[in-house]
Structure 1
Amino acid sequence: MRKGEQLPWIVSDELWARIEPLLPRAERRYRHPGRKRLDDRKALCGILFVLYTAIPWEFLPQELGFGSGMTCWRRLRDWHQAGVWDRLHQTLLAELQAGEQLDWSKAVIDSSHVRAPQGGPTTGPSPVDRAKTGSKHHVITDGNGIPLAVSLTGGNRNDVLRLMPLLEAVPPVRGKVGKVGKVGKPRRRPAALYADRAYDHDCHRRSVREKHVTPVIARRGTAHGSGLGVHRWVVEQTIALLHWFRRLRIRWEIRDDIHEAFLILALAIICWRRLAR
């Protein structure tokens, strides 16, 4: 890390200003209040430390001042159940839209396998890893590679089965403010959807068209280098950024909701980096 550069798990004032209003308010008991609750910002730093380093929860260093690993785990669980990470992601997408950084002319979809040595829900024998237990991260991005939605499935699930659910999972992004001060209509559908041969099914092409989106999906049997890679590389880059978070390279969580919480939080961090450029 360069001298003077902030550690990635330290929450900046700018990011905290966007997260704090989304957190559910925790009321402390008047009688028998017990131990004072750990500051939310410190707990979030602990969560990010685990996301970036993949350290086991129980080994979270106490000298960092982020509380215990179990406390951070509970906050991650509770905030995910309260929809904090989804709302944070949507908030950042709206800011990117206001800054004209979202490219709705196309969206790109792809998936990636990760091992899941602990097993758990939404896992299965991976066809690309000698049938070892694994999961899949399905990602859809805009034309600039900004992640719009993510989905978690078992490693043996066919990619095409997540095509429509992932397209429908794109949240409505608040419109831009016009010259007269009015906010434009929210948008959630790209003009076109690009995908590789794994999504080559005519019935799904029809489903995409019914959403008023043009499917641009490679045909099976066609030669590689057909030109779609010019458009599809952005989602591959985003998946690489997603797996730059070490906790997402291997699925260590047995509970799928905890892994999904990490996934959505990572999407939000990627959007925040794009916004803070």
Structure 2
Amino acid sequence: MLLPERPVYHPNHPLRCHRPRIGDRIVFDKLLQLLRFGCSYEAIADATCSASTIRSRRDEWIRLGVLSRFKQIALEGYDRIVGLVLGQIAVDGAITKAPGGGEAAGRSPVDRGKQGLKHSGTTDGYGIPLGRVPAGANRHDSPLLAPPLDRLGDPGPLPDEITVHLDAGYDSTRTRALLAGRGLRGRIAHEGEKTPIQASRRRHVERTHAWQNAFHRLARCFERRTTVIDAFFGLADTIITVRSLIRRAWTTRRWDERPRRRP
């Protein structure tokens, strides 16, 4: 269990008959709906759970590290059953809208200077998301390369040789020095030369960005705090990882709830 045991009624209440605690499953379902549909907390609230309860339980789970641990479990399960392709890493940034501004927002160069969010994401050789760094949309890709590379060891032991696939936005001496300092080999598209995205593993990170943008909470982010943005991205990454695990394990594994058709 990732969540601590909680009584239905607070033990310090003198009569122990106040409003019971909303079930964690109900709140988690509301968070999934928020992530998928991108609506406001008030729009998703109903008689079973209020908007303030969703926010407070969300902050509680972030503080306890529940959502980050949830993602780690999904990655460990995928690596054990299918296997992460950590020898081939792809890093790229994607810009989305951030109408509400916030800690990680900035002027978007592709949206007439409106508030936007850039997330520099890292994936394995198949496209499984390993992590990301949220930043303002006006930030260049190159300075955002180091933080996700520093966290490559989180999923597990790394192979001896790792190739990092990057687009022309990272074509600089600084990037090559950064990769060399970490013992990584870079495959970088040269600026000014047309290179099809199919020529390298970069297509996998582009596909992962498309998967993430299917969650409307991420494609149009109204959250203002970086910790909350990270939590929603982590939840989306968990769903993407589990989906890929079921799809790829369908041909090699059998289990009781295995779908009749490949999902």
- Shorter chain as denominator, the TM-score bin is 0.7 to 0.9
**C-alpha distance in 2, partners of 1:267/1:105?**
20
Match of 2:41 in 1: 57
**C-alpha distance in 2, partners of 1:191/1:93?**
19
Match of 1:257 in 2: 227
Query: What's the C-alpha RMSD, in Å, of the aligned pairs?
Result: 2.0
Distance 1:149 1:188, change over 3 A: farther
Match of 2:143 in 1: 161
2:69 maps to 1:87: yes
Name structure 2 gaps, 5 residues minimum: 248-263
Alignment of 1:6-45 (within 5 A): 21-26=1-6, 29-32=10-13, 33=16, 34-45=18-29
Match of 1:135 in 2: 117
Alignment of 1:186-201 (within 5 A): 186-187=157-158, 191-201=162-172
**CA deviation after TM superposition for structure 1 residue 234, in Å:** 0.5
Q: How many residues align?
A: 243
Q: Is the 8 A contact 2:104 2:224 kept in 1?
A: no
Matched position secondary structure for 1:101: coil
Q: Which amino acid in 1 is paired with 2:231?
A: A
**CA deviation after TM superposition for structure 1 residue 106, in Å:** 0.6
**C-alpha distance in 2, partners of 1:227/1:235?**
10
Name structure 1 gaps, 5 residues minimum: 1-20, 175-185
TM-score (norm: length of structure 2): 0.86
Match of 2:52 in 1: 70
Match of 1:11 in 2: none
| Percent of residue pairs bearing the same amino acid type | 32
Runs of 4+ in structure 1 deviating by more than 6 angstroms, as ranges, are none
Deviations 1:26-84 (A, max 9, x none): 46532315321111111100110111111210111426x4x112211221222112211
Match of 2:241 in 1: 271
Matched position secondary structure for 1:216: strand
Match of 2:202 in 1: 232
**C-alpha distance in 2, partners of 1:261/1:190?**
31
TM-score (norm: length of structure 1): 0.81
Match of 2:174 in 1: 203
Distance 1:105 1:188, change over 3 A: closer
